[in-house]
Amino acid sequence: MKTRSQKPEARSQKSATGKRKVEVRPPTPDLRPLLVLISAPSGAGKTTLCDLLLASQPNLTRAITCTTRPPRAGEKDGVDYHFFSAEEFLKRLHAGNFLEHATVYGNSYGILKSELLGKLRAGKDVLLNVDVQGAATIREQAETEPELKRALVTIFLTPPSVTVLAERLKKRGADAEAVIQKRLAVSRQEISQWKNFDYLLISGDKREDLRRALAIIESEKMRSARSSAPEI
C-alpha cells in the first residue's frame, strides 16, 4: 500500500563557525488511512456528525455513492453521486463491483469497491454513512478484501435511550405521530445491533459527538497494525 510522507522536520544546529544551520530530518511516513463507517438509527444525528467530521478533517473524504435516479438541480456527476443508467448499474452489480447496494423507492444505490480502494491507496481516509443493514453487508464483504478489512473502523451512534430518540424525532416536527412510531419500531431493532460495531458512541450534543468520534479516529490511527515501523 502506498503511504504519503509528512513534510521534513527541521532542527537548528551550530556549525563550526558558530553560525546556526538547519538540518532537515528524513520524512516520516504517515499512518495508514482508515475506512470510517458510521451508522445510527434514524434521527440520531448521523448525517450531522459526518458533515462535522468532513469539515474538521482535511484528509477525510466521503465515499461517493452510485445511483440510478436522475440528478437533481445543482447535483454533479462524480461529485454528489455517480449517476448510472439502470443497465450500467445492473452490469456492474453482476460483475461484483459493488461493496454494498440497495433499492430505495425504485432507484438503485451502491458503493463501488474501486471507489473506496482508490481513495485509500491515495492515502485518503474515507467516510461511509450507511444504515445498520448496509453496515452488516460491508463488514461481511470486507472479510474478503484484505485492504478494506485492515482499514475498516465501525462506529454506532445512538441516543442513550429510545425515549430520547422519540423526543428528538418529535422535536424535529417533520413527521406525523404514526410515522414516528414506525421509525421507533425500526430503531429498536437497529439499536439492538450495537454490539456488532467496533465502537458505541452514545450521542450527546453535536460538539461532544464530534470530539468522541475524532478521539476514536486518532486512537485507531495509532494502532501498531496501521503504523510504519520505527527506525532502530
How would you write the pLDDT of the chain (232 residues) with one tens digit per residue? 444 444 444 444 554 555 454 444 443 345 689 999 999 998 888 999 999 999 999 999 999 999 999 999 999 999 999 999 999 999 999 999 999 999 988 999 999 999 999 999 999 999 999 999 999 999 999 999 999 999 999 999 999 998 888 888 888 777 788 888 888 988 999 999 999 999 999 998 999 999 999 999 999 999 988 877 788 8
CB 92 within 8 A of CB 84: yes
For residue 1, count CB atoms less than 10 angstroms from its CB and return exposed for 0-12, middle for 13-18, buried for 19 or more: exposed
For residue 229, count CB atoms less than 10 angstroms from its CB and return exposed for 0-12, middle for 13-18, buried for 19 or more: exposed
CA distance 127 to 54: 8
Q: Which residues of 83-121 are buried (b: 16+ CB within 10 A; e: fewer)?
A: bbeeeebeebeeeebbbbbeeeeeebbbbbbebbbebbe
pLDDT of residue 29: 43
Cell numbers that stand for 161 in this block? 435511550
H-assigned helices in the chain: 46-56, 86-94, 113-121, 132-142, 146-151, 162-172, 177-191, 206-221
Predicted structure pTM score: 0.80
The label of the residue with cell 485492515 reads 150
pLDDT of residue 27: 36
pLDDT of residue 227: 77
- Of 142, 96, 144, nearest to 116 by C-alpha is 142
The label of the residue with cell 453496515 reads 135
pLDDT of residue 7: 43
pLDDT of residue 86: 96
CB 212 within 8 A of CB 203: no
pLDDT of residue 102: 92
> What is the number of other CB atoms lying within 10 angstroms of the CB of residue 68?
19
pLDDT of residue 30: 52
Asked if the 33-222 domain carries CATH number 3.40.50.300, the reply is yes
